[in-house]
Amino acid sequence: MALTTRDVITQDFVRDTVEQVVEEDLVYRQAFREIDASDIESNSYTFYIEKNEIGRPSIVGEGEEAPRHGGEAPEEFTVQFDKYMGELVITMEAMEDGLMEMKAREVEDLARAVAEELNEQAYQVLRDNAQTTDDDGEAIGDQNGSLSFSDIVEGVRSLRENNYEPDLLIVDLDGYTDLLNDDNFNRATDEGDDLVREGEIGRVAGVPVIVDNTQAISGDATSGNVNGHGAFAVDTSRFGYELTRTSVTTNEYEEPQRQADVVQAFTRKAWTAIFPEAAVVIDG
């Protein structure tokens, strides 16, 4: 929504702008399913997770009991919500001097800052929980300093070997550059050479590959290694949740002593990994 110097910043403009920008999931929030926790009347949310896997049906004899699933008590754990908030001051001089176009951009910048913080929080949960090795304890990817199509295939295979179905691949900026020069990747994508479109740089076996330019992804990230040339492969239906206690909200009030209007944007959220093994780090 564009404003001119003749317009004013209304509450509707602020609310619509903030909600539109903040609710753009960017990249890492896409790795999580969503839960609306706005009606729980608590600052915490408890999950009850049945960890047992459903076994294959088997032949049973007459009068014998069928294999039973869910006999043990579910695992219980609780997450806490945090409030994320930003603030913008619009001075009397800005309003009187017709600087509304600039201030409208600052409202968008405020919303973008909140969105980027939420994306960062989601990234940290994904980074701290995604598996960095396969079942044999080996790194996923050849770790040769270049992300390749074969590295991506290895990550996808690692998840599928554990009965997960990856539906999201996130590559960092170095990995993105590597893949642009990988003929095997380009031939394998649904888009072929028409790579960059709406954040996706291609699809491999139907899985979207999305580029992120904010983080360097590495299997050794927890040790301070930020060499990049990496990717995350995620089964978003299983990995974890983004919980919203308070949806994106704006608040405006006057500060007469400063002769200014204050715009605030805030939300209360939490992220958690339920099945960490449903995401892996691919180390190129």
Whether the predicted pLDDT of 53 surpasses 70: no
- Per-residue pLDDT band for 17 (boundaries 50, 70, 90) equals confident
From CA 168, how far away is CA 48, in angstroms rounded?
A: 25
Verdict on whether the full-model pTM lies above 0.75? yes
For 212, the token pair is 């992120």
Nearest residue to 122 via CA among 53, 252, 33:
33
Strand ranges, E, within 5-109 = 33-36, 44-49, 75-80, 82-91
User: CB-side exposure of 95: number of CA atoms within 13 Å?
Assistant: 11
Whether the predicted pLDDT of 70 surpasses 70: no
Tens of pLDDT, residue by residue over 141-173, are: 999 999 998 999 999 999 999 999 999 999 999
From CA 272, how far away is CA 121, in angstroms rounded?
A: 10
From CA 150, how far away is CA 152, in angstroms rounded?
A: 5
Q: What is the pLDDT of residue 54?
A: 52
- Per-residue pLDDT band for 110 (boundaries 50, 70, 90) equals confident
| Residue predicted with more confidence, 14 or 34 | 34
From CA 284, how far away is CA 281, in angstroms rounded?
A: 10
Element (H or E) spanning 201, and its range? strand 200-204
Q: What is the pLDDT of residue 92?
A: 77
Q: Is 267 left (phi over 0), alpha (psi -120 to 50) or beta?
A: beta
For 181, the token pair is 């020069």
* DSSP three-state, residue 165: coil
- Amino acid in position 137: G
Tens of pLDDT, residue by residue over 213-261, are: 889 998 664 444 456 899 999 999 999 999 999 998 888 888 898 888 8
